[in-house]
A and B are shown apart, each in its own frame.
Chain A
Amino acid sequence: MSHLITYKNITISLSGKSILNIDQLDVAAHQCTLLTGRNGSGKTTLLKIISGLLKPNTANIHYQGLDMSWKQAKPYIQKDIIYLHQQPYLFDASVSDNIAYGLHRLGESKAVARQKVMHALQWADLSHLAHRSAKELSGGEKQRVALTRARILSPQLLLLDEPTASMDTDAKQQTGLLLQRLKSEGVSIIISSHETHTVKHIADHHLHIKDGQLETIEPSTDSDKVSVLKPSKKQSVT
């Protein structure tokens, strides 16, 4: 298994409290990793550090053959890694304009950008929403727009913070479908989730945060651990 990026010695304290103390995190290339942990265990914190949004106390990064500090790596990881909030934030603009947001940076011409947005909308079956105001969309629709907006930038790694929380079965299924497509396109994905059932079928690995540290949960024992973690209602999407 090849690694896309490796984080070593991640530590962070917030308000004087140590939140994470992780020796090593290898992100598998082109695969999907499930990240679990209790409420407040540090999932969001870890994803934000990985994506370069939150400064850790310490962290070393091995990426593209280089060993760097978090600060040195920040421009690279911000370019190649996209973080999606639990409830994605869409700008006060149309769906198309939201999806086009990151393209400005790439210096695409208007015509090329419009083409790309059109294709991206088709890819996500969102063409019918193109001109709707993004603020008016449902939670599930917002999630899919956010995924499309990320995908159009061809990221190496996509971080999803509880993507299916507070979604109905239909919306989960549609989001799951897009994630599956992204994975088959070679995008590496980390999904933090309580609802392990929803994403288990696309996850290749399972990491669990406990007491600020990462545990790898082997696939063989996966089902036991998962059922311990997630005793609530069963909803499977296949």
Chain B
Amino acid sequence: MNDLGQASANAFELLLSGNNDIWEIISLSFGVSFSAILIATPVALIIAFFLAFFQFPLRRTLISLFNTFMSVPAVIIGLTLYLLLSRSGPLGDLRLLFTSKAMVIGQIMLSFPLLVAMAHATFQAADRRAWETAITLGATPWRAFPTLMYEVRFGLIAAIVAGFGRVIAEIGCSMMVGGNILHSTRNIPTAIALETSKGEFAQGIALGMVLLVLSLSLNAGVSVFQGKGELRT
């Protein structure tokens, strides 16, 4: 049977011909995930910094909480958010269910613990002298913080890339709160699931290739940045 070969050839054709639907799906995927990471990152970095540099009650508890939340399955987050956003749910009045905004919220919830945990590990390993030096040279904490972030930038970039890698490929949450609506909430993972179930292999494979290349390069990116971070002392 030549189905698979034919489908792959069609997939390439779809991608190269600039098929509108497929590129719309790809750009929606990126739009949603970029927004989620963009919103989650600043808050996550500040929390991670406080967890690493200051002593306060419940600090240890918070750290293990973030580490635990990191492994909550996407579909559970999707379910929780669905219940919150559904008509009869506490946030039903916001009318966010089955919108791309709901997907952004879901991906924020999904990436946040990962971002905090990885950034926390980075700050924890950071040289305390960097912070003290900035402060003793007269920097305010608001200026010392960017200085410190710059000193450990490779670890932080690795955290952000890993966070992006987690959300761009997840399907459970997007499916539940997005609903896979064409032109509105259909992203790469949900489209792959749908097209394949319909027997439309070409589109599924085309999107699959995009996602695969992306995930592989993101993963490579994480290791490159983590490696760079370790080289510096």
- Contact check, B127 vs A89: say whether CB atoms are below 8 A apart: yes
Q: Does A105 contact B (CB under 8 A)?
A: yes
The contact string, 1 if C-beta is below 8 Å from chain A, for chain B 134-168, is: 11111110010001001100000000000000000
- Contact check, B137 vs A102: say whether CB atoms are below 8 A apart: yes
Q: Does B132 contact A (CB under 8 A)?
A: yes
Q: Does B129 contact A (CB under 8 A)?
A: yes
B129 proximity list for chain A (CB < 8 A): 85, 87-89
- Contact check, B130 vs A105: say whether CB atoms are below 8 A apart: no
Q: A92-B232, A135-B232 are contacts. A101–B137 as well, Cβ < 8 Å?
A: yes
Q: Does A149 contact B (CB under 8 A)?
A: yes
A51 proximity list for chain B (CB < 8 A): 136
- Contact check, A102 vs B138: say whether CB atoms are below 8 A apart: yes
Query: Which one of A76-84, A188-196, A209-217 contacts B?
Result: A76-84
A48 proximity list for chain B (CB < 8 A): 132
A105 proximity list for chain B (CB < 8 A): 137-140, 143
Of A52, A89, A150, A153, which one neighbours B130 at CB under 8 angstroms? A89
- Contact check, A83 vs B136: say whether CB atoms are below 8 A apart: yes
The contact string, 1 if C-beta is below 8 Å from chain A, for chain B 119-138, is: 00000000101101111111
> Which residues of chain A from 24 to 56 have any CB-CB distance to chain B below 8 Å in the complex?
48, 51-53
- Contact check, A92 vs B151: say whether CB atoms are below 8 A apart: yes
A233 to chain B, nearest CB (A): 28
How many residue pairs at the A-B interface have CB separations less than 8 Å? 54
Q: Which of A91, A104, A135 has the most CB of B within 10 A?
A: A91
How far does the alpha carbon of A135 sit from the alpha carbon of B151 in the complex, in Å?
Answer: 11
B167 to chain A, nearest CB (A): 30
Number of interface residues of B (CB under 8 A): 18
- Contact check, A78 vs B138: say whether CB atoms are below 8 A apart: yes
- Chain A at the B interface: SS class: mixed
A81 to chain B, nearest CB (A): 8
- Chain B at the A interface: SS class: helix
A166 to chain B, nearest CB (A): 16
Number of interface residues of A (CB under 8 A): 24
Of B130, B136, B233, which one neighbours A91 at CB under 8 angstroms? B130
- Contact check, A89 vs B133: say whether CB atoms are below 8 A apart: yes
How far does the alpha carbon of A106 sit from the alpha carbon of B129 in the complex, in Å?
Answer: 22
The contact string, 1 if C-beta is below 8 Å from chain A, for chain B 192-226, is: 00000000000000000000000000000000000
A8 to chain B, nearest CB (A): 22
- Contact check, B150 vs A104: say whether CB atoms are below 8 A apart: no
A79 proximity list for chain B (CB < 8 A): 138
B2 to chain A, nearest CB (A): 55
How far does the alpha carbon of A52 sit from the alpha carbon of B140 in the complex, in Å?
Answer: 13
- Contact check, A78 vs B135: say whether CB atoms are below 8 A apart: yes
A138 to chain B, nearest CB (A): 14
- Contact check, B139 vs A83: say whether CB atoms are below 8 A apart: no
A85 proximity list for chain B (CB < 8 A): 129, 132-133
Q: Which residue of B lies closest to A90 (CB)?
A: B133
The 9 A-B residue pairs with the shortest CB-CB distance in the complex, in nearest-first order: A89-B129, A102-B137, A89-B133, A105-B138, A83-B136, A102-B138, A85-B129, A82-B136, A53-B132
**Additional pairs, 18, CB under 8 Å, beyond known A51-B136, A52-B136, A91-B150:** A53-B136, A78-B135, A78-B136, A82-B137, A85-B133, A87-B129, A88-B129, A89-B130, A101-B134, A101-B137, A101-B139, A102-B137, A102-B139, A104-B143, A105-B137, A105-B138, A105-B139, A135-B233
Show 8 A/B contacts (Cβ-Cβ < 8 Å), sorted by A. Answer: A53-B136, A82-B136, A83-B132, A88-B129, A89-B130, A89-B133, A101-B139, A135-B233
- B interface residues, Cβ below 8 angstroms from A: 127, 129-130, 132-140, 143, 147, 150-151, 232-233
